[in-house]
């Protein structure tokens, strides 16, 4: 196969049931049993959610983000564990280091996924060999399983990594992109959440193949600019370059209250606990951040967030605390009960990259 210079080969790596896989590795007696990482189910009365679960648990219909009470009802015999974030962060860092060293350009995209531009491999055949080596390396050195997708861009690579989980390797060469995407549901496209999916369905577009039949004009009329994006994505077109900065990553914590509460002191205290944990993780990773976000969920699931981007990065606990509390205020002022609060930070830089104070932005 010949590639003209504009062609890219992008790899997407996504770890398989990441938090649960790390827990299984730490305690081999868990092997083969349903393992659920998330809130305390409290015999079915718990109020949080499932962060993730292993494939044995998925057989019972358990999924990420499912209320823990429902998970418990479906699988009372499972092993329910509280998340141990520092363990997952350490494992993530090791996996990322391994991947980074194999990439022309590397973009970490979350705690358990990353994009690698591997265009210098020239052929998909050779990129596939590299993917196998990386999977074997991650398994051998870290005892963890990863799924890999290869494609001409980030969109296709990401969909490909999800194609055969766990432990899968799917390479989609440019001439087969349409064939690969066609049977998939429109929900695999970026920006298509449950509501957009419903709307597309009502227009008669269930699969990518059906969506591809829609004209640009029609999609623009129905969705505005997002419609043009959909038109491109239905064709597997995605020109986004890889972003090697730290921006794609965020660190966050959230807490679901035992009972919904409008008690300002309790909410503030809980938010500060989240801030302290986020700060601890930033310190352990040697990171400063520029974006702070507070999330609040009212009784009944209505969810809001407020975000601030600082002019200069910060690593100071007091700075994070005051930022978080001032963003929380408008949520408390409404006198409504809260179900959950959370805090997260993003736009990281390593402290050594910082300009000395006063040197400008």
Complex with ligand TTP: residue 14 or 233, whichever CB lies closer: 14
Alpha-carbon 347 to chain mean position: 15
Rounded CA Rg of the chain: 22
Binder of ligand TTP out of 25, 42, 100, 165 (CB under 6 A): 165
Site for ligand TTP in 251-280 (CB under 6 A): none
Q: Per-residue DSSP letters for 148-170?
A: EEEESSHHHHHHHHTTTTTT-EE
Rule CB under 6 A: choose which of 25, 42, 60, 64 binds ligand TTP: 64
In angstroms, what is the minimal distance from the CB of 83 to ligand TTP?
7
Residue 357 found at the interface with ligand TTP (CB under 6 A): no
The set of residues, in sequence order, having a beta carbon less than 8 Å from that of 207 and lying 6+ positions away, is 182, 183, 184, 185, 186
Residue 142 near ligand TTP by CB under 6 A: no
Question: Does 52 interact with ligand TTP (rule: CB under 6 A)?
Answer: yes
> Smallest distance, Å, CB 138 to Mg ion?
12
Q: Binding ligand TTP by CB under 6 A: which of 14, 23, 107, 233?
A: 14
In whole angstroms, give the CA distance from residue 290 to residue 312: 6
Pick one of 15, 75, 214, 327: the residue that binds ligand TTP (CB under 6 A): 15
Nearer to Mg ion, 15 or 36 (CB): 15
| Tokens encoding 175 | 């001439």
- Shortest distance (Å) from residue 65 CB to ligand TTP: 4
Dist. CA 9–CA 127, nearest whole Å: 8
CA distances from 167 to 94, 144, 147, 193, 224 (A): 18, 10, 5, 26, 38
The reply on whether position 99 binds ligand TTP by CB under 6 A is no
Give the nearer residue to ligand TTP in terms of CB position, either 10 or 22: 22
The CB-of-335 to ligand TTP minimum distance in angstroms stands at 29
Catalytic pick from 23, 24, 107, 113? 113
Told to judge if 113 belongs to the known catalytic residues of this protein, a careful annotator would answer yes
Measured from the CB of residue 100, what is the shortest distance to Mg ion in angstroms? 18
Written as one string, the DSSP assignment of 167-207 is T-EEE--GGGHHHHHTTSBGGGSTT--HHHHHHHHHTT--B
Binding test (CB under 5 A) with Mg ion, winner from 107, 112, 117, 254: 112
Q: Which is nearer to ligand TTP, 87 or 102 (CB)?
A: 87
Whole-number minimum distance, CB 235 to ligand TTP, in Å? 26
Provide the pairing of β-strand 50-53 with 79-81.
unpaired
Cβ-contact 214, 73 below 8 angstroms: no
For position 85 contacting ligand TTP by CB under 6 A, the verdict is no
Dist. CA 176–CA 184, nearest whole Å: 14
Element (H, E) at 268: helix 264-285
Choose the one of ligand TTP, Mg ion, none that binds residue 138, judging by a C-beta under 5 to 8 angstroms depending on kind.
none
| Residue 210 in contact with ligand TTP, rule: CB under 6 A | no
In terms of Cα–Cα distance, which of 275, 190, 200 is closest to 236?
Answer: 190
142 forms part of the interface with Mg ion (CB under 5 A): no
Is there binding between residue 14 and Mg ion (CB under 5 A)? Answer: yes
* φ, ψ at 341 (rounded to 5°): -130, 155
351 vs 290: CA distance, rounded Å:
12
Contact 151, 177 (CB under 8 A): yes
Q: How far is the CB of 54 from ligand TTP (least distance, A)?
A: 8
Q: Which residues of the shown chain bind Mg ion in the complex (CB under 5 A)?
A: 14-15, 18, 112
Q: Which residues of the shown chain bind ligand TTP in the complex (CB under 6 A)?
A: 14-19, 51-52, 64-65, 111-112, 165-166
- The catalytic site residues sit at 113
């Amino acid at each position: 196969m010949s590639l003209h210079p504009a062609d890219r080969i992008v790899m997407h790596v996504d770890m398989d049931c990441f938090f649960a896989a790390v827990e299984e590795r730490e305690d081999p007696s868990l092997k083969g049993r349903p393992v659920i990482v998330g809130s305390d189910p409290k015999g079915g009365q718990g109020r949080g959610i499932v962060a993730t679960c292993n494939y044995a648990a998925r057989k019972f219909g358990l999924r990420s983000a499912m209320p823990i009470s429902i998970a418990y009802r479906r699988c009372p015999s499972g092993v329910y564990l509280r998340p141990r974030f520092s363990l997952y962060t350490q494992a993530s860092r090791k996996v990322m280091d391994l991947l980074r060293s194999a990439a022309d350009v590397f973009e970490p995209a979350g705690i358990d996924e990353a994009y690698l531009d591997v265009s210098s491999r020239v052929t998909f055949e050779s990129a596939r060999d590299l993917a196998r080596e990386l999977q074997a390396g991650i398994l051998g050195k870290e005892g963890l399983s990863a799924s890999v997708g290869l494609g001409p861009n980030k969109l296709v690579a990401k969909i490909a990594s999800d194609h055969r989980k766990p432990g899968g390797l799917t390479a989609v060469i440019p001439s087969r992109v349409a064939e690969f995407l066609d049977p998939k549901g429109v929900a695999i496209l970026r920006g298509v959440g449950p509501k957009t999916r419903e709307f597309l369905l009502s227009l008669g577009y269930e699969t990518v193949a059906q969506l591809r039949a829609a004209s640009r004009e029609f999609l623009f009329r129905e969705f505005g600019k997002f419609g043009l994006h959909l038109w491109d994505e239905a064709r597997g077109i995605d020109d986004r370059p890889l972003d090697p900065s730290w921006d794609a990553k965020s660190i966050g914590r959230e807490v679901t209250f035992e009972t919904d509460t409008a008690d300002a002191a309790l909410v503030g205290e809980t938010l500060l606990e989240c801030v302290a944990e986020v700060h601890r993780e930033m310190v352990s990773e040697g990171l400063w951040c520029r974006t702070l976000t507070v999330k609040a969920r009212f009784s009944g699931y209505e969810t809001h967030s407020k975000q601030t981007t600082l002019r200069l990065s910060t690593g100071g606990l007091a700075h994070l605390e005051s930022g978080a509390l001032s963003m929380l205020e408008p949520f408390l002022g409404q006198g409504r009960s809260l179900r959950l609060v959370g805090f997260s930070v993003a736009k990281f830089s390593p402290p050594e990259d910082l300009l000395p104070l006063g040197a400008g932005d």
